[in-house]
Amino acid sequence: MRKLMPVIFSVVMLSVMVSAELYAGMISKSGRVRPDTIIGREIPFPVFTAFHKGEIIDINLREYRGKWIILFFYPADFTIVCPTELKELADYYNDFTGAGAEVFAISTDSAYVHRAWKKDSPQLKNVNYPMLSDRSGSFSRALGVYESSKGTAIRASFIVDPDGFITSAEYSHDSVGRNAGELLRKLDAAIAVRKGGGGVCPAGWAEGKELIQEK
């Protein structure tokens, strides 16, 4: 039995170390326990190279903390469905900013390709929100939307609250475009719930309607 004691002790210590490491991996930088799903998870706040208002610039996402953030991932520039999505998002852009949110379109293309695409495509002429370059795919990987076989992000939209936590997520196949109006409705709903003192949104809720209060 004495000979087995060191072995048993080593096994117990290894188990404790592994458990501690796994638990540490569940803790976000803010100290909160990381949720099992993407909802409620805190996003990273990197610095991006971006194309915005005719210029190649750096955008530090952390500077937008305290605002609502829309992260609009799409597969690639110079494609068929993507310009229709970015055009529609541009049509609603003033509504998003009026609600207190900033919109970011994100792909793994470089900011220089973003610039060339906007210049080439008439559909993008009214795009005034930043187009971020996730060239390495690291941000896409962090949010679970990176398709490694293609080196691109899938179609995915996230609503991030002013504290940096994801309140809504949507994923679509490359062949299926999204609805910017519905994304705006979800943002309005998230804002209403945050302000609503415990109220929740029923199905089909739209801005101006009452929230459901739990009894």
Residue 82 appears among annotated catalytic residues: yes
Q: Tell the residue number behind the tokens 């490694």, with chain if given.
A: 148
CA distances in angstroms from 47 to 41, 108, 132, 205, listed in the order given: 19, 14, 10, 35
Query: How many whole angstroms separate alpha carbon 58 and alpha carbon 74?
Result: 20
Residue 200: what residue type? V
Q: Please report, to the nearest 10 degrees, the dihedral formed by the alpha carbons of residues 44, 87, 173, 159 taken in order.
A: 30
Query: How many whole angstroms separate alpha carbon 28 and alpha carbon 164?
Result: 11
Name the nearest CA neighbour of 156 among 125, 134, 129.
134
Residues 6+ apart with CB under 8 A from 164: 30, 42, 43, 45, 65
Asked if 33 contacts 24 with a C-beta cutoff of 8 angstroms, the reply is no
Q: Largest Cα–Cα distance in the chain? A: 79
Q: Spot the catalytic one: 82, 106, 113, 156.
A: 82
Helix ranges, the chain (H): 4-25, 82-91, 93-98, 111-120, 138-142, 180-195
Active-site annotation, residues = 82
